[in-house]
Amino acid sequence: MPPSHSPRFLKIVEDAKRRIKECSVDEVKTQIDAGQQFLLIDVREESEYAKDHLPGAVHLGKGVIERDVEQRVPDAAAPLVLYCGGGFRSALAADNLQKMGYTNVRSMDGGIRVWREKRLPLENGIQAKG
């Protein structure tokens, strides 16, 4: 069961979701299977990422993504898909990246929770940062 979120948090998430593009878990899985080129970014905490994450995902946590994204992704037009536990933190991060000038950012609605529910493959451990 997803965690209960405070009304003020939900209000800022809904505000962000009005400005961003979202995609479904099924769309992301289809793109991965088709070999489409995009950067999959896990914005959860490092401990969450270490437990498990989507195959090929890199970690740029919600707390540091705005600070570190330009070094990792200098091309503001690069296709990015962000995800978190349920799609709320990734929506907030996507909104901020758009404010920073990133033009091809999507947030995966439902996050890793829906990915797990569909029993899709996961990796565990910390991946080398490239």
Segments making up each domain of the chain, as ranges: 21-117
Instruction: Kindly list the averaged pLDDT for each block of 10 residues, start to end, along the chain of length 130.
Output: 82 98 98 97 97 96 96 97 98 98 98 97 73
pLDDT for 130:
43
pLDDT for 4:
86
Tokens read off for 76: 């503001």
Assigned CATH class of 21-117: alpha beta
List, edge to edge, every strand of the sheet that includes 105-108. Answer: 21-23, 105-108, 80-83, 39-42, 58-59
pLDDT for 127:
58
Q: What is the pTM of this model?
A: 0.93
